[in-house]
Amino acid sequence: MKLFSESSFVLADGAIETRVVYEFGRALGDAETFTLLRDADGRRILTEIYRSYARIAAAHALPMQLGTPTWHAARRSTDDVVALNREAVALVREAIAPLAIEAVVAGVMGPAGDGYDPSGALSLDEAHAYHREQAQALAAAGCDLLYVQTVPACDELHGAARACGETNLPFALAPMLRADGTMTDGTPLADAIARIDADALARPWHYMLGCIAPAHARRALEMLFRSAPHVAHRVIGIKANPSPLAPEELDAATRLERGDAETFARDVLDVAHTFGLHVVGGCCGTDTRDIEAIAALQPRVERQS
């Protein structure tokens, strides 16, 4: 698969986990959608979700990035790391095959622990050792891109990046951010980018913003462009939440937080247009309504200078 160019608009998928729980009524432990690979009904649900997003890309003739259901599909959560990650990549490819879209399958990796709580995050060396197994498994399974998301602390993000770098696949990092533009361990996004980019073994293809409300993303990017314009261009995409809640509030939420799909799409696309982000999709709480609205309204993207 030839990866998309840095000048074309790419539609990303929306939520998987919250749709599994709220739309399909299937309980999940700690957003571990890989557990659905273990039974026929779970695989049916995942196939239906991925195909629903691919249909939108096909209808609008847009390339699409789809993330595998492999968040936490690593050693702390399963003894079948290699098999589950292989099956996840295969399921996504099989689900979207009938649509014949231009697609990038992103092998999703998450933190070893709680994505909202940095207190239990791994050190750089621990993270390098821990995330290596899943990174290698996803690479061997044939994904196009590794995608490390919702990691709360810079040391663990850095170690995971090193593990990804060893695969020789392109990879992207989408750290968990607060509304003030810092990771949840307090590291400013600009500092995290500069630190990781300076390590030749860990330098990603690009960075994205994930699991963040459009208003919070705007604030974080304004701070990034103001404090570190020399690295701001490294952020090229966003997968946004419709909820304005902070990470800790989302973690404690007991109901689905969402609003009007067109309003959300306009908000996230306005951020994308302002800051030159060209990979745009949804995270927790989004579904086909939001991704359809993004596809229908997507603008020409120019980077802020």
Going from N- to C-terminal start, the domains of the chain cover 10-297
Q: Locate all alpha helices (DSSP H) within the chain, ordered by sequence.
A: 17-22, 40-59, 81-96, 124-141, 154-165, 189-197, 214-227, 229-232, 247-252, 261-275, 288-297
List the beta bridge partners of residue 101.
none
Q: What is the pLDDT of residues 40-89, one digit of tens each?
A: 999 999 999 999 999 999 999 999 999 999 999 999 999 999 999 999 99
Q: What is the pLDDT of residues 98-146, one digit of tens each?
A: 999 999 999 999 999 998 899 999 999 999 999 999 999 999 999 999 9
DSSP 3-state percent helix, strand, coil across the chain (nearest 5): 45, 15, 40
Q: What is the pLDDT of residues 146-162, one digit of tens each?
A: 999 999 999 999 999 99
188 CB-near residues (< 8 Å, 6+ apart): 181, 182, 223, 227
What does DSSP assign to residue 167? Answer: T
- Helix pair angle (124-141, 81-96), 10° resolution: 50
Instruction: State the pLDDT at residue 3.
Output: 72
Task: Note the CATH number of domain 10-297.
Answer: 3.20.20.330
Report whether pLDDT(29) > 50.
yes
Q: Could you tell me the two tokens for 294?
A: 């993004």
Q: For the whole model, what pTM was predicted?
A: 0.94
Q: Could you tell me the two tokens for 17?
A: 């986990």
Q: What is the pLDDT of residues 249-297, one digit of tens each?
A: 555 555 666 779 999 999 999 999 999 999 999 999 999 999 999 999 9
Q: How far is CA 115 from CA 43, 103, 120, 135, 220, in A?
A: 25, 27, 9, 18, 18
Instruction: State the pLDDT at residue 303.
Output: 57
Q: What is the pLDDT of residues 208-239, one digit of tens each?
A: 999 999 999 999 999 999 999 999 999 999 99
Instruction: State the pLDDT at residue 221.
Output: 97
195 CB-near residues (< 8 Å, 6+ apart): 154, 158
